[in-house]
């Protein structure tokens, strides 16, 4: 299993949405952070795009520097999503190649609601049938406004695993 850091965007079944998102992503050549400039590559699979950058660890977080680089890139990925054309949902993180299709997480919303950095279109979120709750221990209590028509669980960055 790969442990690449990436942005994963599901476009849905609309050919128009997929084409607009494809054109938008083709324009993204580099990600600039406080540390460095990173080349961007985009890969399409089924109805999803994986956006990756070169010049960072592709075996997960092995140091504090890896965690910092990936965190800064992650925040830049979210800046892209703010201006991106319509999509269904997106995630930023490590090992997203194993992620699920829509029907899988709609049936098991608690799994995805534990993932920081999940962005979802409001109509898709409603299909997840998650209860609105004031219970701060429930995963759905973290969901908030991302941009018009979208909600998210705020991204907190990446962290070094303390045990090597």
The DSSP result for 39-100, as a single string, is: EEEEEEETTEEEEEESSS-SB---SHHHHHHHHHHHHHHHHHHHHPPP-SEEEEEE-GGGPP
**pTM reported for the whole predicted model:** 0.84
Q: How far apart are CA 55 and CA 33, in angstroms?
A: 13
Half-sphere exposure of 151 (CA within 13 A, CB side): 14
Digits of tens for pLDDT over the chain (164 positions)? 457 888 989 988 789 999 999 999 999 999 999 999 999 999 888 888 889 989 888 888 888 888 999 999 999 999 999 999 999 999 998 877 666 566 666 666 666 666 788 899 999 888 876 655 555 555 556 788 999 999 998 999 987 655 45
Q: How far apart are CA 83 and CA 80, in angstroms?
A: 6
Quick check: 155 and 78 in contact, CB under 8 A? yes
């Amino acid at each position: 299993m790969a442990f690449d850091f990436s942005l994963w965007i599901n476009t849905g079944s609309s050919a128009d949405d997929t084409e607009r998102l494809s054109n938008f992503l083709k324009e993204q050549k580099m990600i600039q952070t406080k540390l460095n400039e990173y080349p961007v590559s985009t890969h399409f699979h089924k109805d999803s795009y994986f956006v990756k950058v070169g010049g960072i660890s592709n075996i997960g977080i092995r140091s504090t520097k890896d965690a910092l680089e990936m965190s800064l890139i992650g925040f830049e990925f979210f800046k892209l999503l703010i201006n991106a054309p319509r999509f269904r949902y997106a995630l930023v993180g490590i090992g997203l190649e194993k992620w699920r299709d829509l029907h899988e997480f709609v049936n098991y919303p608690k799994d995805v609601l534990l993932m920081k950095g999940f962005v979802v279109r409001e109509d898709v979120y409603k299909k997840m049938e998650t209860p609105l709750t004031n219970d701060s221990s429930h995963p759905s209590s973290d969901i908030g406004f991302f941009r018009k028509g979208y909600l998210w669980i705020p991204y907190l960055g990446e962290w070094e695993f303390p045990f090597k």
